[in-house]
Every structure is written in structure tokens, then in C-alpha cells.
A and B are shown apart, each in its own frame.
Chain A
């Protein structure tokens, strides 16, 4: 047996961020978004979003994620934390209110406490990941069928002004939440993406010195980081998206949420599918029309496919 070769060495693509060809493609997916104009619909936001997400199961059966902009208190922030063993965490941190939803925990705390709480988490519970932060955003993503994921977090019971969601077909053997959307790289900001960026490695190198941190190798997270950087520098959401047309290369359809805004952008070639519907009561986005079929009054909505390289943005007054 002396000619046996040791093939117990780890596979080439086992992780690490230094391999130039490593990427976790985020481009097999379905995306949805709903922005309510009519306050009377707000209690139904989660239920409507859950229905839209479930229809997109074929496009992404392996995992799902969504962000909901719900209630928030001025001067307070919500941190969405993902991980195991969440019971008793709030008591251990002290001075925070907590809501556990399955594998996620939403901590509510005074804004002045945010640095302390983040520091405590980094030190005491490095296994946990803060996946979203802001006055109103709550963000959930998990492995499993979209309908099951929505049920685990009781999406249908959530109310809010707007939300976006994503279903994903994972490309790696072990399906994890690492490449799951939405990505949040700034306060109350989140993005979902269908497509494939061709210059995300350079963008990442450009953004990191500006203090934009990334937790995955995903091209979509880079897009989110780019918008966060632009917003931080004072751009409006619409302006940040306009600028992205110059700086982001490749194929993309983005749906983006901020504390009060909602926007859609497709690249100049626009191969990836996108359908929108607008009524007096809402603006909705789906990768396919069937994601919109369950919305109230859809039969009278203005249904259209967003044009290439044109920013569509809505803002709550």
C-alpha cells in the first residue's frame, strides 16, 4: 500500500477569501419587494410578502431571506442577530429588549448603547452574527424551502411599511446561510440581487479602505456595500443607484430598501427578469409576474417591466 496517495487533504474550494477565483454566486434566485402607500395595508405586509416569496420557490428552493421595515422608536436601534443558543442572551447583555424568532434575535436598545452591545457580542459571543441594524429594519434568512422559512419566522404575522425578499438556489454542496440575501451593509439598508457582477473583486478592494466591511465572498454584498458607501457620503438612494450604473459592471436587477425608501434598478442590458405593479395602495416587484398575482387589486394595477439602466425609486413622505 506504499503507493497510496493521501487524498485526505481538504478540497480546493473549502473557503478562504484569498483565492482569486472564489465566489459564492448569488445569481440563482427569485426576488420580491413590496412598498406600501396605503397605511391600511401595513398589518398585512408580512402576509403579502410571504405569499410572494413562496411563489418564487422554483427559482430558489434552498434558502430564503427577507427584510421588513416595521415599528421603530426614535433614538433606538434594532439589531438582528443570527445564531444558536439565544435564550437568556438579552439578560446577559443587560439594558436591551429582545424578541426571539427561531434562529434570530432582534435586540432593541437605545442608540447610545449600540457600540457597547456590539462590543459585548463580539467579545462574549463571537459565534453570533449581526445581520441587520437600524431604527426599523428586521432581517431574517435561513436554509430551507421559502414557505418553511417564512413560517419559522412568522413572516405572515409581521406588519410594516415595506419589505423585500429573496429565494436562493445554493451552488455549494453544504447549503448555508452565508450567501443568502438580503444583504445589509448600513443602517436600515438592505439589498437583494439577481444577476452576476463582473467587477465585484475590484469594487471590494476599492470599498474596504473606506471602512465598508464584508462578511461573505458574495458579489451581491459588494453591491450593497457600494450603495451604503454612497449613502454615507450623502447621496440620495436614487443618486447612489445612478452612480452604480457607472461603477458596477455585469448583470443585475436590484431591489433596495432604506428606512423610508424603496428602489429598483436593472443593468443596461437587463437580461434577468423583473416585473413591477403599481396601484394607489402599493408598489410591488417580482422576478416573475406570478409573484404578484395574489396582491389586492392586481388586476387593475399598472403592470410593467422596468426599463434598462433606469432608477425607479419611491419614498415615504
Chain B
């Protein structure tokens, strides 16, 4: 060893200008346009992982796993609708459009949800006969663009969801790039084929809660007060948005955290606007409680639900049901390592592929290419989704029974503690092993 040689410091990469940041600066400099992609936020966020359940012991008594019942059913839309929706499990499929997804993927979502006894939801592109046919319970989204909106489909729906925003891009409109505007998509949306479609961020004929109330009245009149009316908002100011949705006459509120996915939007929007679902549920429930409407107006939360523990935690914090989008696509086959070679050819890798806007999805899900779309067998994919929904339910039941609950809805915040100060503050439960709830009692 040459001890006289002057040691060199190793090359050091900047934590601020990391490799991803550098590549994005170069990409922006070359193209002059922001990065558009699909999926949800990829950064690490305070999430349900930092919550733990306090299982039963001496002070609480658990339920026996295989003999003692733990019910999972939920009724949505009990406030005004003549025909509320009864679901077997409190896990629904979130709105995703035909256009962003292939017809096969939409059909598979309908099949899987129906097998599991739950609902699925249309998206920004209208209702296809395939998804209506395969969905036992179908929620019809009413969006700013009104693509494909028509009263006949409105009457065929089981519920109507007025979309004001979504967690991936609260305050933003939709976006579907030309590659995915096929003949059928173009016709359903009344657009020229192959253009970059920009959807509006506000509804064309109402703005604000006083006018929303009148819009809800119109939709109820058109559908003879039969169908539950949901109002979906991206999580930003959940206390006020939920209060205003209730005041405007909603039957059900859908609250989508920033982890919620999208078919295509600006990366900067996905990563920097909105709040995580962990932080959104308690203020939303608080609003319902302050108005005396908790459990009367049902709350569905979404954004980053992955397993039965997430489901149980969301319900314990006060939600009536959860909704899944990204996880449902993964269950169908999105980002499956089976297609690794093809993901590599697209400059990505299985598990990281998010260029859903390009329509070249090897798994045949986020595409309108007939050859790619044909890769997805709607029956088999639907079966996988049903299996996954079943596991989510069984897992949530396992936790609920351990906490001594004979219904998932009897989970409560007091069943939870937090592992981090952040999670304790956001979920308003004590830091594990302490009585400390940050932000309350003057702390």
C-alpha cells in the first residue's frame, strides 16, 4: 500500500440534485414541456403503515376467527335516494375511464367487482355496454367534460358520482393524449381522432356549493330521486369540502387522497398538490360529526389502499367504505414482471412503468391498441380482482375480530395508535405507548 499517495474523496452525488432530478432537468430542457405520466404519487408519504391496531387482551375480548361473525356489508346512499346501494364488502372500485383503460380492462373490473359483491365506477369517457353488462352495481361519473354523458345511461346507472376533483390532481382537469384517442374513444367523446384532449377542471354549468345544490336537484329530478348521488373531491381542505358537499345535498362523499392514481397528468401535479389520505380522513369525519351526519352521509375514502390493514385503518378512522384504483389494476396484471422484457424496451421496468398516457401498456390495460388490449382476458383478470378483493376483506375481518368487533364498522380511532409523531398528529391517535395526540390538548 502506498501510504504517501494523497487519498481522493469519492465522487459525491447531491441529495438535492439526485439522479432522477438531473434526468428530469435534461428532459425538460430538451422538450420544453412538463412531464406527463400516469399513476399516483411515488414519493414516500405518511401513510397507514405508521398506524397499529391494539388487539384484544384482558381489557377487550376477541372474536373467534372461523365461527364468530364479522360482518362486512355496507349501505350507501341512505340519506335521500329511494334506492340505496347495498354492497357485500366496503371496498369499491374507483372511477377509471374507458379511453384511459381498454374495454377489456373495464370489463374485467366489472366482472371482478360483481363476483365480490361490490360496485365499480365509470370514468371520464362515458359508459360502455361491456362494463354496464358485467357490473352488477355501476356508479356513473358526472364530470366537467361530460364526455359521453347522456340521460339514458344516467338512468341505467345504480348511482351518480359528481366528480369535483381527484386526489392525484385536485383542481385539475383530465388529459388524454392523442395516442389513445382511437375511433371508438373519439366517437364516445365527440372529439376528432388522435388529438391531445384537454378536459376542463370546472364544471361548465355550475361553480361553488350553492350552484352545486341546484345541480344535484336537477340530477335527482331527472332520475326521479331513485339513485344515490355521490360527490367526489380530491383531499385538500377536507373539513370544508365535506361540510359543503353535505350542505349541497350529497348522499355519499368520496374523498380521494393524493396517493390516488390518474391516467395521465403532470408529474408536478401528482407529487405536489393535495394531502395524503391519512391526513384527510379525520377532518372529513369531523365535518360529518359536527353536522350530525356521520354514518347518515356515507364517506368513501381512497388513495393508496393496498391491503386489508389499510381497509381496517380507514374504517377505524371513520370511513364507511374504501375505494381502490391502482391496486385493482395491479390485480388485473398491471406492471406484471411477466412483461419485463417489454417494459425494458419502453425504457422502464416492471413495477415502475407509469407511461399510461402513451397507450403502449404491455399488459393490455392502459391502452387502446387492439393487439395489446387483446392480451388481457377479462374473465381471468376479473377472477384475479375478485380474489384480491376477497383477501382484502378477509384481512380486514381478521383485524376487526382481533379487536373484538362483529362488524368492520365498529372499528374506531381508539383501536389505533401511531408509530410516528406525524401519523399520530394526522390520524389524531396517540403515539404508541403514550397518551400524546399531537395537536390536541394544547400540544
Contact = CB atoms under 8 A, between A and B. Distances in A.
User: A and B touching (C-beta < 8 Å)?
Assistant: yes
Interface of A: 1-7, 9-13, 21, 23, 25, 27-30, 58-60, 169, 171-173, 194-196, 251, 271-273
Contacts of B213: 28, 58, 169
Given A13-B286, A171-B240, A271 B207 contact: yes
B290 A27 contact: no
Contacts of A194: 208, 210
A28 B59 contact: no
Contacts of A7: 413-414
A11 B54 CA distance: 24
B239 A13 contact: yes
20 contacts: A1-B59, A3-B414, A5-B414, A5-B429, A6-B435, A10-B440, A12-B282, A13-B283, A29-B210, A30-B210, A58-B214, A59-B210, A169-B213, A171-B209, A171-B244, A171-B247, A172-B290, A173-B292, A194-B208, A271-B208
Nearest to B204: A271
A173 B59 contact: no
B202 interface: yes
Contact of A12 (B54, B208, B247, B286): B286
Contact of A271 (B54, B202, B209, B292): B202
B437 interface: yes
B274 interface: no
Nearest to B282: A12
Contact of B243 (A6, A21, A59, A171): A171
B317 to A, nearest CB: 13
Given A11-B286, A251-B208, 6 more contacts: A5-B413, A12-B428, A12-B439, A13-B290, A171-B247, A196-B208
Contact of A9 (B54, B414, B440): B440
Interface of B: 54, 59-60, 202, 207-211, 213-214, 237, 239-240, 243-244, 247, 282-283, 286, 290-292, 413-414, 428-430, 435, 437, 439-441
Nearest to B435: A6
Contacts of A271: 202, 207-208
B211 A273 contact: yes
A173 B287 CA distance: 8
Contacts of A196: 208
Given A171-B243, A171-B244, A3 B54 contact: yes
A103 B347 CA distance: 71
A66 B202 CA distance: 31
Given A3-B59, A9-B441, A173-B291, A60 B210 contact: yes
Contact of A272 (B54, B207, B239, B439): B207
Contacts of A3: 54, 59-60, 414
Q: Of B210, B213, B243, which is in contact with the most chain A CB atoms at under 10 Å from its CB?
A: B210
B291 to A, nearest CB: 5
Contacts of B292: 173
A10 B439 CA distance: 10
Contact of A6 (B202, B209, B237, B441): B441
Contacts of B208: 27-28, 194-196, 251, 271-272
A296 B439 CA distance: 57
A11 B290 contact: yes
A271 B208 CA distance: 9
B39 to A, nearest CB: 28
Contacts of B286: 11-13
Given A25-B240, A25-B244, A5 B291 contact: no
Contacts of B440: 9-10, 12
B413 to A, nearest CB: 8
A196 B208 CA distance: 8
B209 A27 contact: yes
A9 B243 contact: no
Contacts of A10: 440
Which residue, A1, A5, A23, A194, has most C-beta atoms of chain B within 10 A? A5
A-B pairs with the 5 shortest C-beta distances? A271-B207, A173-B290, A9-B440, A28-B210, A28-B209
